[in-house]
Amino acid sequence: MDSPEQAQSEQPQEGLRARSRRGTMGERWWSRRFIDILETICDKGRLSRGRSYARSGRVLELGIAPGHVGARVQGSRPVPYDVDVRITAYGDGEWEVLTEALASRALYRAKLLAGEMPPEIEDVFGDCGMPLFPDERGLEMECSCPDWGFPCKHLSAVLYLLAERFDDDPFLVLAWRGMPKESLLDDLREVTDDVPFAERLSAFYEPGTSLARLRHQPSRASAPADILLRTLDPPPVKTRHIPITDLLRPAYRRLSDPRSPGEPSP
């Protein structure tokens, strides 16, 4: 049996703590989009334990590089586990295509130069055949722990903290795909400087998506019932310390259920 001194020396180190204390994580549309993908492809039980790890300071280190996130997570053993999360980082030629596509949309370009992340940017990436966010086939994850579950709670903790990092700086989403913030903004400024404002004026207020495309958008039956709550910025309102969006989410799901009270049963 370990002595009290040994047991004390093996207490988990204090690491990074998530800001969110309860409920789901992710405050901005881009971080919630990332969380939505994770909660679709990952085991819910391990995601729940991962949130607890993220909130209790178990993630000791977290580094983001093009195509790679590396972290160390303190588990139940004395030696922390190594966590790696990888996606495809686009190359220079691919980013040249993406930058031209973004620069051709005056409104998107203006928002990016102002430090904002327009929701339509995801469509621009999709139209270029290069997704902004990874799906289960584009996300490679590995942890040195012995847990055979996927992802384990250590990986889940890192992914939730990564979403909070995205909250703080949306350009980290792009940097993870291989384009540093300043490099992108410099490229966009060059495009803006090359085109006289008088020539850009007529197209400045053009919609990023044609009206015909908006009218004929196919419905997506798989869209979550609470998609608006996930997409819009949450109001700073809480009831008994619980965010109002967490309280509204079950109501949205009940309203979208065709078997909810007031509707005939099939």
Structure tokens at 51: 């949130």
pLDDT of residue 185: 92
pLDDT at 168 over 50: yes
**Read out DSSP for 4-71?**
HHHHHHTSPPP-B--S--SS----SHHHHHHHHHHHHHS-HHHHHHHHHHHHTT-EEEEEEETTEEEE
| pLDDT range class, residue 250, cuts 50, 70, 90 | confident
pLDDT at 77 over 60: yes
pLDDT of residue 252: 72
Residue 160: which of 38, 71, 64 has the closest Cα?
38
Query: pLDDT digit string (tens) for 228-240?
Result: 665 556 677 767 6
3-state secondary structure of 226: coil
pLDDT at 46 over 70: yes
Beta strands in 174-254 (DSSP E): 238-239, 242-243
